[in-house]
Amino acid sequence: MSDPWGSVSGLIKTNICSSGGDSGGPLFSGTVGYGILSSASGTYPDCVSYFQPLTEVATAYGLTV
**Quick check: 43 pLDDT over 60?**
yes
Residue 27's contacts (CB-CB under 8 Å, 6 or more residues apart) are 12, 14, 16, 33, 34, 35, 36, 37, 51, 54
Q: Let me know if 49 is exposed, middle or buried by CB neighbors in 10 A (0-12, 13-18, 19+).
A: buried
Mean pLDDT over residues 12-24, rounded?
92
Give the 3-state secondary structure of residue 57. Answer: helix
> Which CATH class, in words, describes the domain spanning 2-60?
mainly beta
Domain ranges of the chain: 2-60
DSSP state of 30: T
Residue 2 confidence class, pLDDT cut points 50, 70, 90:
low
Mean pLDDT over residues 40-62, rounded?
89
* Whole-number pLDDT of residue 4: 65
pTM (predicted TM-score): 0.79
